[in-house]
Amino acid sequence: MTLPISQLMTRQVRTASTDDTIAQVGDDLDRLHLHAVPVVDADGRLFGILSATDLVHFHASKKNPRVVRAWELCTHRPYCVAPDTSALEVARLMIAKKIHHVLVTEGSKLVGIVSTFDFIEKLVRDDLL
């Protein structure tokens, strides 16, 4: 795939605040049927990413989800790419790092998110399977 990742990414990205509780983030993921959300600070700067898998591991720890904040659980320094990065390059990154979500940024601004599901959807839509 030589198309730019901007053609696969989701542009309207739901984010979580660093101060949101794990309970709030979990509720948002369930309600919106999401698998991950970028975590941003009070100024809107990207802080990390929090996935449904992170929440599963968290709940196994038996900690109180109404006390722990998103900044404490999220993965800091998530993988980010520019909108013009090739989809092939992003796919290779996801495979190499064994990750399911990559954030798309322009400078310090979050402009999208891409998941393994976006790649599968493209393959099905283009009848490439």
CATH code for the domain in which residue 73 is found: 3.10.580.10
pLDDT, one tens digit per residue, over 37-94 is 999 999 989 999 999 999 999 999 999 999 999 999 999 999 999 999 999 999 999 9
What kind and span of H or E run contains 104?
Answer: strand 101-106
CB 53 within 8 A of CB 60: no
Question: Which tokens hold the place of 59?
Answer: 């709940």
Cα 91 to Cα 4, 28, 34, 82, 94, distances in angstroms = 11, 27, 20, 14, 5
- Give the pLDDT confidence of 2-50 residue by residue, as tens digits: 899 999 999 999 999 999 999 999 999 999 999 999 999 999 899 999 9
Q: How many domains does the chain have?
A: 1
CB burial readout 26-42, b (16+ within 10 A) else e: bebbeeeebebbbbbee
pTM score of the predicted model: 0.91
Give the range of the structural domain holding residue 81, as residue numbers without chain letter.
Answer: 5-125
